[in-house]
A and B are shown apart, each in its own frame.
Chain A
Amino acid sequence: MPSPTLAVERLIRALEAVTRLAGAIAIGLTLLLILATCAVVVMRYFLATGSIALQESMSYMHGAIFMLGAAWTLRVGGHVRVDVFYRGASPRAQAWIDVAGGLLFLLPLCALIFWLSWDYVLSSWAIREKSNEGSGLPYVYLLKTLLLIMPATLMVQGVAEILKNLLFATGRGGAHVGEKVEPL
């Protein structure tokens, strides 16, 4: 029978695996977005042609970068804080603030976005919504699905953060905000 702390740590690792995956996709897309933009520019100015599908793919990548990257950013402590007092607080007080904020602010927000978006996304899937442009991408329903993936992944990482901070605040180890985060 493993200790409860160990079990929680294992759970945290499992949750963060989801975040890593979403984050890795977002990070990879930044470079692709640059390449796509340059391709659009070259086509427009040097070849005098354009591809609506390629231009729309830029929106897809742009959207995916921040919708999939939000959870990763939470993990590394990249969401900006007003740290006038936070900075001076003890690490333990900081951890408690993050537990409270996660429970009271983050999780309800994620639940709300997920719940509000559910019908919105489903109705898009029902008709396999396409671009309004004839030669555009026929994957609007997939793009809109980001509205469910973002709150879901953010909630997964939110739970992981709450658990980590609880372990830390109660003196059972665990990393604190953004510390000991190895790069992807």
Chain B
Amino acid sequence: MAEFIPLYMFAAVCLLLMLGYPVAFSLSGVALAFAAGGMVTGHFDMAFLHALPNRIYGTIINTTLIAVPLFVFMGVMLEKSKLAEDLLGNMSRLCGTLRGGLGISVILVGMLLAASTGIVGATVVTMGLMSLPSMLKQGYSPSLATGTICATGTLGQIIPPSIVLVLLGDILSTAYQQAQLKMGIFSPETVSIGDLFIAAIVPGLLLVLLYILYVYGYALLWPERAPRESRRIRAGELLPVLGPLLPPVLLIIAVLGSILSGAATPTEAAGVGAAGAMVLALAKRQLDFRRLREVMTSTTEVTSMVFMILIGAAVFSLVFRGFGGEELVASLFERIPGGVFGATLVVMLVIFFLGFILDFIEITFVVVPIVAPVLMAMGVDPVWLGIMIAVNLQTSFLTPPFGFALFYLRGVAPASVLTRDIYRGVLPFIAIQLALLAALALWPGLITWLPNLILH
């Protein structure tokens, strides 16, 4: 029975996490309790934990991860300086007369905002506070409005430069090297964050396009549930509307472009992006000492939160390994019928359900290092796997009754919006997500084509 201890540990963590104590410490606390028990009964060797200081130090000196605080700063600055709100206002004036125009502008702004923050909770809450009232006021049905906002909020994970893609890229590249070493390849290829960013573009834009088509189609079929603005925009009004739209859009494009073209490392681009966001806020007269301090404080808090989860997950995975968890997972995978396809499908299902209790960051740090090397050794492409995980989790976060995005939106939605409306509203978007997942599985080229084109 001792060989199943890693599974019991996993189950215990999932259960105890539900109590609500911070994830980073629950993960490591449960693992330590198991380690202590294992040492008493002779199933666990303390030596495994001695790798911990070096792991933590490795995180400190990992130059790619420096992009995390910098991107967080950029996102928080854009959000707090009300740039996003202006964006939405301008965009909806621009698209207001189109059928479903307001909904479409919410999707477009969400995409840009997502690209700048990359944190689900932040995007859903911001979009919810910003756009839900105006959508309801204009007569949008609550279910269409909330569904659009939830779905758009989860875009942050897939649209680069998202923070989770930075973290996922780091983990995948380690896993990929492990897998190749096990296969006897001693000059392993690597996966870079740039690879993941590029690979995410086509699936991300496809999603945005499908969302827009859905909202547009809905507005055609039920115009009364997605009314448009009656007033047409005159040509003379176009400039003042378009003008303020440009700077933040250009900033995000510049940051992305410099990473994708290989001109700058993600860290450099993020640093310049953070400085650029400050300049934009300053130009808008939205930056004073107090706001700067707020942005710096919340950057510190988000960064600490992320890296404490990383450390908690490191403790968990060391104990998991000490109990023979890696061998257990590998042997379980061999028993799954259907070879690579079967194993990948099972992993995707497990991740989907884990998405109900764990956020993207935790899954990246806890689950991916366990399953990814095994899958890659079976021949799964690392970049494809990364994007599949991202879209899969995005779907998970939308799925009632546990999806994260739904909770976040429920938290900021007025009482007049029923929880049932939110659930009903996200269903079509879940269908879109599943369709995209199936398409990505059938035609992996949708993911791998662009990176191959640009990088080779």
Which residues on A are within 8 Å of B, measured CB to CB?
23, 26-28, 30-31, 33-38, 40-41, 44, 55, 58-59, 62-63, 65-67, 69-70, 72-74, 76, 78-87, 89, 94, 97-98, 100-102, 104-106, 108-109, 112-113, 116-117, 120-121, 143-144, 146-147, 150, 183-184
Contact = CB atoms under 8 A, between A and B. Distances in A.
Contacts of B308: 66, 70, 73, 79
B268 to A, nearest CB: 5
B61 A65 contact: no
Given A69-B303, A80-B22, A150-B56, 14 more contacts: A30-B73, A30-B300, A44-B268, A63-B59, A66-B300, A72-B301, A73-B300, A78-B301, A79-B23, A79-B305, A80-B309, A97-B19, A108-B32, A147-B53
A66 B312 contact: no
- Give the contact-size bracket for chain B: 35 or more
Given A105-B26, A146-B60, A41 B299 contact: no
7 contacts: A66-B306, A76-B301, A80-B309, A85-B19, A109-B29, A113-B56, A116-B53
Given A78-B304, A79-B22, A184 B54 contact: no
Interface in B51-90: 52-54, 56-57, 59-61, 63, 65-66, 69-70, 73
A147 B50 CA distance: 13
A62 B66 contact: yes
A144 to B, nearest CB: 6
Interface of B: 17-26, 28-30, 32-33, 49-50, 52-54, 56-57, 59-61, 63, 65-66, 69-70, 73, 264, 267-268, 270-272, 274-275, 278, 292-294, 296-297, 299-309, 311-312, 315, 357-359, 361, 402, 407
Contacts of B23: 79-82
Contact of B305 (A34, A78, A116): A78
Contacts of A37: 66, 70, 267-268, 270-272, 274-275
B268 A85 contact: no
A105 B21 contact: yes
A72 B315 CA distance: 21
B15 to A, nearest CB: 11
B53 A117 contact: yes
Nearest to A84: B18
A41 B300 contact: no
A19 B52 CA distance: 24
Q: Which of B21, B54, B69, B294 has the most chain A CB within a 10 Å cutoff?
A: B21
Given A66-B304, A69-B303, A106 B18 contact: no
A30 B29 contact: no
A4 B70 CA distance: 45
A26 B303 CA distance: 10
Given A73-B305, A116-B53, A59 B61 contact: yes
A41 B302 CA distance: 25
A80 B21 contact: no
Task: Name A's interface SS.
Answer: helix
A167 B25 CA distance: 22
A160 B49 CA distance: 27
A94 B20 contact: yes
Nearest to B358: A82
B402 A38 contact: no
Q: Which of B26, B53, B272 has the most CB of A within 10 A?
A: B53
B301 A84 contact: no
A23 B301 CA distance: 9
- Which of A70, A78, A81, A82 has the most chain B CB atoms closer than 10 A to its own CB? A82
A31 B293 CA distance: 9
Given A79-B305, A109-B312, A41 B24 contact: no
A154 to B, nearest CB: 8
Contacts of A79: 22-25, 304-305, 308
A14 to B, nearest CB: 22
A145 to B, nearest CB: 11
Nearest to A71: B304
A26 B26 contact: no
Contacts of A40: 268, 271
Point out which of A69, A76, A150 has the most chain B C-beta atoms below 10 A from its C-beta: A69
B60 A41 contact: no
A55 to B, nearest CB: 8
B97 to A, nearest CB: 41
Contacts of A41: 264, 268, 271-272
